[in-house]
């Protein structure tokens, strides 16, 4: 297993290109199952999760061709010859559940393994299933698989999500495009990745209104066509790299970053003393003083502060002046980065879903363990600011969601290298 070695090296300077959004691409790719025509995705990120989704789609009979080094994905599911999404693939990546809605909508049957939990929580899929049942799906859970049927096709229905769920909204939205009649999704997720999916589906011929608001209305159509669609920039990668100059000084321009993707996050950065300037190429970030100020954070569904930036923000707060309270309201176990940050001298008290961080002037490099995707990058951010060497182990977590992190940070002056075990 690879490790990444980071040595605190002072202020950063330069530009970091922001890739297409992992969490948009992982829902755009299964959309190919809704149509027999080709779907081309441009600005796709080059990540192991994308490869996993490609493998899953290919196991169903879809064709996925990577072009331009993976930046362009050509997908086609002209003939699906398998309707079973196997546990072996699904257990590696929870987003695999997103093939359920499209496959069911297109062919009236699908068998998809339940994804199981992951490090940050149980992460059930009950809302995905309830939303599809509201469209007439007949679901039977047997031996860890969802056996879904809709022999006469799905029909439009109304479903109100009891809690906001990104994935369940995506599954329901995709399924509704081919359902007979009108579907209304209430308390729907409003994330930019949902808006991106709706825009792609509309390019394919879907009739959708209200994406980005809490109520999405879909008028089912007979069939969908092909499309070419650019993946929206990754707001979580963007926020992550915006924190690099915040935590160790200097000035970094994140190319392709758009302020409307990270407004709640930028509000917290501003309160902490970090300046974000919109340029014609993206967002330029620098901190106003030698140390940032401690601020409180509550994670919420979009447009609130994103849970996927909580770990990275905690790394910044570990070096802030004062005490910060971070409340994680989306997942039940998303503070696993805290004990690792404490190995670097951070002062963090975790009580249930709340972490209280008392900032210290200097963190100290140490060997640390990545536990999940966003926790791993928070340790790298801490390592950028720490004195001495930080070795982050198990970086396969990192490669799921960040393209060549050592290259992007190295190009702006960070002392960072990947050590391969083999
Ligand atoms: C998506 O996961 C993202 N993943 C996550 O990013 C992100 O943290 C999350 O949305 C919240 O923004 C992808 O898009 C591939 P949810 P998802 O359904 O859809 C509960 C990353 O680091 N829930 O919005 O699985 C669930 O347990 C990943 O890139 C149910 O109870 O998240 C959680 O507490 C991590 N029943 C809350 O809702 C359900 O059926 C929000 O989950 C579904 C979810």
pLDDT tens column, 74-116: 999 998 999 999 999 898 899 999 999 999 999 999 999 998 7
Is the CB of residue 128 below 6 angstroms from any atom belonging to ligand 1? Answer: yes
CA of 319 to the centre of ligand 1 (A): 29
Task: Return the number of other C-beta atoms located less than 10 Å from residue 82's C-beta.
Answer: 13
In the chain the domains, ranked by start, together with CATH numbers, are 3-19+233-419 (3.65.10.10), 22-230 (3.65.10.10)
Rounded (10°) angle between helices 166-176 and 192-203: 10
Q: Would you say the CB of residue 97 lies under 6 angstroms from ligand 1?
A: no
286 pocket-lining for ligand 1 (C-beta < 6 Å): no
Which residue owns the Cα nearest ligand 1 atom 18? 165
pLDDT in tens, 2-45: 899 999 999 999 999 999 999 999 999 999 999 999 999 999 99
pLDDT computed for residue 103 by the predictor: 97
Residue 145, CB half-sphere, CA atoms under 13 Å: how many?
Answer: 15
The sign of the CA dihedral 308, 310, 315, 316 is: positive
Give residue 42's pLDDT.
98
Q: What are phi and psi of 300, to 5 degrees?
A: -145, 165
Please identify every stretch of the chain with a pLDDT value under 70, giving residue numbers as ranges.
117, 422
Long-range CB contact pairs, 181-184, < 8 A, 24+? 181/155, 181/156, 181/219, 181/220, 182/156, 182/217, 182/218, 182/219, 182/220, 183/135, 183/156, 183/157, 183/158, 183/159, 183/217, 183/218, 183/220, 184/157, 184/158, 184/159, 184/215, 184/216, 184/217, 184/218
Q: What is the atom index within ligand 1 of the atom nearest the CA of 330?
A: 34
Query: Which residues fall within 8 angstroms of residue 250, CB to CB, at 6 or more apart?
Result: 10, 11, 12, 13, 286, 412, 413
In 139-276, alpha helices (H): 166-176, 192-203, 235-248, 263-272
Q: Is the shortest distance between the CB of 331 and ligand 1 below 6 Å? A: yes
Cβ–Cβ < 8 Å for 378, 371: no
Contact predicate 101/113, CB 8 Å: no
Joined tokens for residue 357: 């961080």
Q: What is the pLDDT of residue 422?
A: 62
| Residue 106 · residue 153 · CB < 8 Å | no
Active site residue 248: no
Pocket test for ligand 1, best of 26, 123, 238 (most atoms within 8 A of CB): 123
Protein residue closest via CA to atom 1 of ligand 1? 166
Strands 12-17 and 250-255: parallel
Pocket perturbation via mutation, ligand 1, pick of 214, 265, 308 by most ligand atoms within 8 A of CB: 308
* Ligand 1 centre distance from Cα of residue 421 (Å): 32
163: which 2 tokens?
A: 């809690």
Q: In the numeric block, which tokens belong to residue 413?
A: 């002056």
45 Cβ inside 6 Å of ligand 1:
no
* 167 ligand 1 Cβ < 6 A: yes
What would the two tokens of residue 365 be?
């490099």
DSSP SS3 for 392: strand
Q: Is the CB of 307 under 6 A from ligand 1?
A: yes
123 sits in the region (left: phi over 0; alpha: psi -120 to 50; else beta) called left
Give distance in angstroms: CA of 165 to centre of ligand 1.
6
Q: What is the 3-state secondary structure (H, E, C) of 250-283?
A: EEEEEECCCHHHCHHHHHHHHHHCEEEEECCCEE
**Helices in 69-125 by DSSP H: which ranges?**
87-90, 100-107
**Using omega within 30 degrees of 0 as the cis cutoff, is the peptide bond preceding 303 cis?**
yes
The rounded distance, in Å, linking the Cα atoms of 333 and 371 is: 11
- The residue nearest atom 31 of ligand 1, judged by CA position, is 124
193: Cβ–Cβ under 8 A, 6 or more apart, which residues? 21, 23, 24, 27, 166, 170, 232
Q: What are the structure tokens assigned to 84, written together?
A: 């079973």
d(CA 84, CA 112): 6
Distance CA 38, CA 321 (A): 53
Tokens 């829902």 found at: 27
| Token output for 258 | 């758009």
CA of 59 to the centre of ligand 1 (A): 24
Ligand 1 pocket test: pick from 115, 129, 167 the residue with the most ligand atoms within 8 Å of its Cβ.
167
State the pairing for strand pair 63-67/39-42. Answer: unpaired
């Amino acid at each position: 297993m690879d490790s990444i070695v980071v040595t605190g090296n002072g202020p950063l300077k330069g530009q970091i290109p922001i890739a297409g959004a992992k969490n948009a691409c992982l829902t755009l790719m299964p959309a190919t199952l809704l149509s027999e025509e080709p779907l081309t995705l441009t600005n796709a990120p080059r990540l192991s999760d994308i490869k996993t989704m490609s493998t899953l789609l290919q196991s169903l009979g879809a064709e996925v061709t990577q072009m331009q080094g993976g930046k362009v994905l050509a997908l086609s599911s002209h003939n699906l010859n398998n309707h079973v999404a196997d546990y072996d693939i699904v257990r590696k990546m929870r987003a695999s559940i997103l093939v359920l809605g499209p496959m069911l909508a297109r062919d009236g049957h699908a068998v998809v393994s339940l994804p199981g939990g992951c490090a940050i929580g149980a992460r059930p899929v009950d809302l995905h299933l309830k939303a599809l049942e509201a469209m007439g799906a007949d679901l039977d859970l047997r031996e860890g698989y969802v056996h879904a049927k809709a022999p006469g096709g799905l029909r439009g229905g109304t479903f109100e999500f009891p809690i906001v769920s990104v994935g369940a909204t995506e599954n329901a939205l995709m399924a509704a495009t081919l359902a007979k009649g009108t579907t209304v999704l209430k308390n729907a997720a409003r994330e930019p990745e949902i808006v991106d999916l709706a825009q792609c589906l509309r390019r394919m011929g879907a009739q959708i209104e209200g994406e980005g608001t809490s109520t999405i209305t879909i008028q089912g159509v007979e069939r969908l066509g092909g499309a070419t669609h650019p993946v929206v920039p990754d707001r979580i990668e963007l926020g992550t790299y915006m924190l690099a100059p915040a935590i160790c000084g200097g000035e970094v321009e994140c190319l392709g970053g758009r302020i409307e993707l990270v407004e709640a996050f930028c509000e917290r950065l501003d309160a902490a003393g970090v300046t974000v300037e919109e340029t014609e190429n993206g967002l330029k970030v620098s901190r106003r003083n030698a140390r940032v100020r401690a601020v409180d954070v509550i994670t919420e569904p979009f447009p609130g502060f994103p849970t996927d930036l909580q770990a990275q923000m905690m790394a910044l707060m570990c070096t802030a002046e004062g005490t910060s309270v971070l409340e994680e309201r989306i997942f039940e176990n998303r503070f696993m980065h805290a004990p690792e940050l404490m190995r670097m001298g951070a002062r963090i008290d975790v009580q249930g879903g709340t972490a209280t961080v008392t900032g210290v002037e200097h963190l100290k490099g140490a060997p640390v363990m990545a536990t999940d995707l966003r926790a791993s990058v928070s340790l790298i951010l801490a390592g950028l600011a720490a004195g001495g060497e930080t070795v982050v182990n198990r970086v396969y977590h990192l490669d799921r969601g960040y393209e060549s992190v050592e290259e992007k940070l190295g190009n702006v002056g960070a002392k960072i290298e990947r050590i391969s075990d083999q």
